[in-house]
Structure 1
Amino acid sequence: MFVKDCMTTSPITISKNTPILEALEKMKKLKIRQLPITDKGRLVGLVTERELLTVTPSPATTLSIFEMNYLLTKMVVGEVMVKDPITVHPEATVEEAALIMRNNKIGSMLVMADDELVGIITQTDIFDAFIDFFCIRKAGTRLVLQIHDRVGAIAELTEIIKDMNINIRGLVIHRKANDVVHMVVRVSTIEPEPLVKELESRGIPVISCTIS
């Protein structure tokens, strides 16, 4: 799955002269937490709800509430925006996007292609993508198997499941110590007992079995 498959296309943008309160109101109305900032069609920055909410006078200020509100109405997003925000290409993989966001501790990234803003991808989009990876919204069984990391281990497992006439909906490897891995497999059946018995009879321990 690529960024282009799960991003929000044609994101709503604002100008750098947009008042902060107006930007916050737009976010609230549209139920979004970030807005790209453009100038004559060119991306110049990004502003997030968190940044806007922190733009308030110090608690020690002597300004009245009316004076503070007046100042906020005069402040524009260009004063607090993130310049040169981190971006990603639409052909990047979802896991690449997740790693970039994790390493930079950000909740969203703008998607750029040939200097054109084509979308935005958020943490929620990535969560949804990984949920789709495992078909969690469809009934099935989640198995955690303990397997030695060796050539042919996955082929052997998939052959066993195929012979049981069961479909694999998702599979991921979690590496443990030494050459041991935990293989998380989501299968289509909601009656996993025969499969569990077959796996264990073949020397594949089933650490966990959850029907959902």
Structure 2
Amino acid sequence: MFVANRMTKNPVTIAPDASLDDAFMAMKKGHFRRLPVVEDGKLVGFFSDKDLMRVAPSPATTLSRYEEKSLLDKLKVAEIMNKDVISVGEDATIEEAALIMYDKKIGGLPVISAVGAVVGVITETDIFKTFVDVMALSEGKTRLTVLVDNKVGVVNEISGIFAAAGLSIDSLVTCKQEDGSYEIVIRGIIPDTEKIKTLIEEKGYKVVHSVKFD
């Protein structure tokens, strides 16, 4: 799964010489939290609601609304935007984008084409939605967690159990534990959970959790 398939395409952008009031109104109108800053077709910065909050008057200010607007009009986006922009290519995988955001502790990334044009924005919300879609959490599937040792052939054997029972596996994810063992998380339509649990445990594996998402 690639960033290009999950990002917000053709994002609203703003120029570096735009006023903060212009940026505020653009974010408010589109319900955005971030705006790529573009000059001559190239990404030069990234502007977020946090940048705006850093310089906006406090709610306790004695400034009039006219004075507040005048202040925001005087400041330009280029003065407070993040110039050290971290971006991601549209051909990157969704996992790469998630890892960058996790490592850098940021909530969104501008997405760049091969020629350097801004073609989208990918955010933590897009990552969460991808997770929900991949795990099919909204489709009433059953989730089984199986604890296994780290050995060759485990996934093949467990998938064989499902095949022999006439069941399909919609998704299967492995997660390494601190002791070197693995949790295998399986999702699918499983009419008789207890039956498949018994078949798995008869092969020497332990089903440690099961739940159905309605």
- Provide TM-score, normalisation by structure 1: 0.92
Matched, 1:64 2:95: no
Instruction: Tell me whether 74-83 or 146-155 shows the greater mean CA deviation.
Output: 74-83
Matched, 1:133 2:134: yes
Q: Counterparts of 2:69 and 2:144 in 1: how far apart (Å)?
A: 56
Matched, 1:109 2:109: yes
Report deviation, 1:88: 0.8
Quick check: 2:6–2:126 contact (8 Å CA) kept in 1?
yes
Q: Counterparts of 1:2 and 1:90 in 2: how far apart (Å)?
A: 7
Quick check: 2:16–2:76 contact (8 Å CA) kept in 1?
yes
| Aligned residue in 2 for 1:40 | 40
Report deviation, 1:104: 0.9
Quick check: 2:21–2:69 contact (8 Å CA) kept in 1?
no
| Aligned residue in 1 for 2:207 | 206
Equivalent position SS for 2:78:
helix
| Aligned residue in 1 for 2:74 | 74
Matched, 1:21 2:21: yes
Report deviation, 1:58: 7.3
| Aligned residue in 2 for 1:9 | 9
What percent of counterpart residues are identical? Answer: 36
Amino acid paired to 1:74: K
- Flag structure 2 segments of 5+ consecutive residues without an equivalent: none
Report deviation, 1:204: 1.3
- Aligned residue pairs total 211
Report deviation, 1:59: 9.1
Q: After superposition, what is the alpha-carbon deviation per residue over 1:13-60, rounded to whole angstroms, capped at 9, x for unaligned?
A: 111122212211221221111011111222211100111122135799
Equivalent position SS for 1:168:
coil
Report deviation, 1:183: 1.0
| Aligned residue in 2 for 1:50 | 50
Q: Counterparts of 2:177 and 2:26 in 1: how far apart (Å)?
A: 46
Specify whether residues 100 and 167 from structure 1 end up closer, same or farther in structure 2 by C-alpha distance, changes over 3 A only. Answer: same
Report deviation, 1:178: 3.0
Quick check: 1:42–1:116 contact (8 Å CA) kept in 2?
yes
Instruction: Tell me whether 79-88 or 64-73 shows the greater mean CA deviation.
Output: 64-73
Q: Counterparts of 1:168 and 1:156 in 2: how far apart (Å)?
A: 13
Q: After superposition, what is the alpha-carbon deviation per residue over 1:81-131, rounded to whole angstroms, capped at 9, x for unaligned?
A: 111411111121111111111111111111112212121111111111111
Specify whether residues 9 and 59 from structure 1 end up closer, same or farther in structure 2 by C-alpha distance, changes over 3 A only. Answer: closer
- Flag structure 1 segments of 5+ consecutive residues without an equivalent: none
Amino acid paired to 1:29: K
Quick check: 2:46–2:83 contact (8 Å CA) kept in 1?
yes
Q: Counterparts of 1:179 and 1:67 in 2: how far apart (Å)?
A: 62
Q: Counterparts of 1:143 and 1:58 in 2: how far apart (Å)?
A: 50
Q: Counterparts of 2:24 and 2:63 in 1: how far apart (Å)?
A: 21
Q: Counterparts of 1:58 and 1:128 in 2: how far apart (Å)?
A: 34
The ranges of structure 1 where at least 4 consecutive aligned residues each deviate by more than 3 angstroms after the TM superposition are: 57-61, 63-69
Q: Counterparts of 1:193 and 1:175 in 2: how far apart (Å)?
A: 25
